[in-house]
Amino acid sequence: MPEAPWWKTAVVYQIYPRSFADSTADGVGDLEGIRQHLDHLEWLGVDAIWLSPFFTSPMADFGYDVADYCDVDPIFGTLADFDRLLADAHARGIRVLIDWVPNHSSDRHPWFVESRSSRDNPKRDWYIWRDGTPDQTPNNWSAAFGGKVWTWDEATSQWYLHLFLPEQPDLNWRNPEVVAAMHDTLRFWLDRGVDGFRMDVIHGIVKRADLADLPVDKHHAPDRFDEPAVHANLREIRALIDGYPGDRTSVGEVYILSTAKVAEYYGQGDELHMAFNFPPLYAPWDAAKWRTRIDRVVEELDPRDAWPTWVLSNHDNPRHRTRYGGSEARARAAAVLLLTLRGTPFLYAGEELGLEDAVIPKEREVDPAGRDICRAPIPWTAAADHGWGVEDPWLPWPPEPDVRNADVLRADEASILHLYRRILAARKGSPALQLGAWSPLPAPPTVLAYSRVLGDDRRIVLVNFGDAPVAVSVDVETVVEVASDGLGEGEGYAGTVAADSAVILR
């Protein structure tokens, strides 16, 4: 096994704290609830956890509107609770990434309260203000969740910019004081011992200077942003993180649906360590579409020596089992796909239980962007409260919580939970699956076939996206030709891969 940073061989498990586990029986998940379930994550075999925001917040966007970057919201616990969670995770060999929200703060953050207080306040320029009239916005941009990106402030007779909710004013990254203050928030958590950051909307932190109208209005469009300035800031952030020991890391939310553009945010190995590449997340359950998405990753990232990431579900998108049609067989095959591609997989809490999206009655909807369905609480037991101490938590349960919970599935060695555990163990035992070269193999149209090879360790993965069994044959000549490494004289594989099924061959 060659030397490599830990994050290249890791499987990262995303936790949405509100929905993971509740230690206080108030219906909302918290940091102590996460700590109490680290045994589950250690048993499962994940290498790191990423915690969505738990900072002080009025919760207009459930923590992505930060009122204090250096403290824990009381609903989730205290800094002491975080320190215990971090220490216990590290004791189990589990790294901890936290969410960093640099594009915007809450409108309740003391910085914005000062900025809004008067036009001549020293922090006025910490946010983006523009002149105008109450009936004419400075430009035609739209906000991510609908409506304008501008809100009129009656007290000071100016507009302020917010790419998201009005409660989330955008910070002005052209102001050196803002840059220094945000760097200090990184240092606060790095000094505390976190292993890295998931960086929210990182590609958008510096807006174009002219704030000009756009002919095509897309809320994440790259032409809204000053890309050279963003890249310059990323290089400074990278230098800051790399100045700490222990291979600290960053993964950026670069919400651009172009793998070629995403690749630019790795810089020359001096910007993001990793970046989320969203086109595969939105690919349908189709072999040809996935083959195209993977080819783009190879073509765009490999020349930069940029390490890929893979994700099928997260807190912002429908769970992949639901998105792929609801079949557990398909969810199992997707698990094999996610965990055998070259790169770092990010596993969303609940995928290992095969969860589907929840059905949220209209009167229970709370998220302005309609993302409640993928944020339903994780069921831990078959009891009426499913291990939460309350039967009716902040959101309704996902489907079948009586049988699709951690306790019941752990008792069944044929369950999808055990499948995830076996695949994670297979990754840990295989240098090829962790760091090996990826090469496509010839296969029938509905089958995605590829090899992973590192030295003497060789794996072949076959994923049948079709609704019928398919006969597949992989011979030694094919492997020699494509992977430049054979399986051994006279060896090969011929067999049938079931519909919506996958196999890993050694």
137-187: per-residue pLDDT in tens?
999 999 998 899 999 999 999 999 999 999 999 999 999 999 999 999 999
6-104+176-428 carries CATH number 3.20.20.80? yes
Q: Cβ(156)–Cβ(144) under 8 Å?
A: no
Reported confidence tier of residue 415, pLDDT bands at 50, 70, 90: very high
Q: According to CATH, what is the number of the domain 436-505? A: 2.60.40.1180
- Where along the chain do the CATH 3.20.20.80 domains lie? 6-104+176-428
Of the residues 30, 167, 253, 351, which is catalytic?
253
Q: Is the pLDDT of residue 487 over 50?
A: no
Q: 203: closest CA among 303, 102, 118? A: 102
- Where along the chain do the CATH 3.90.400.10 domains lie? 110-161
What is the mean pLDDT of the segment spanning 118-129? 98
- Using alpha carbons, list the distances in angstroms from residue 23 to 32, 153, 258, 389, 397: 6, 41, 41, 8, 17
Per-residue pLDDT at 506: 87
Q: Cβ(167)–Cβ(60) under 8 Å?
A: yes
Give the rounded distance of the alpha carbon of 312 from its chain centre.
9
What is the mean pLDDT of the segment spanning 269-274? 98
Q: Cβ(144)–Cβ(163) under 8 Å?
A: yes
State the Cα–Cα distance between residues 417 and 415, nearest whole angstrom.
Answer: 5
pTM: 0.96
User: Which architecture, in CATH terms, is 110-161?
Assistant: Alpha-Beta Complex (3.90)
Of the residues 22, 32, 200, 485, which is catalytic?
200
DSSP structure class, residue 171: B
Residue 200 known to be catalytic: yes
Per-residue pLDDT at 479: 52
Q: Is the pLDDT of residue 116 over 60?
A: yes
Give residue-wise pLDDT tens across range 283-308.
Answer: 999 999 999 999 999 999 999 999 99
Q: Which residues fall within 8 angstroms of residue 232, CB to CB, at 6 or more apart?
A: none
- Where along the chain do the CATH 2.60.40.1180 domains lie? 436-505
Q: Cβ(47)–Cβ(11) under 8 Å?
A: yes
Give residue-wise pLDDT tens across range 80-114.
Answer: 999 999 999 999 999 999 999 999 999 999 999 99
Share the mean pLDDT of the chain.
95
Q: Let me know the angle formed at the C-alpha of 97 by 283 and 367, rounded to the nearest 5 degrees.
A: 60
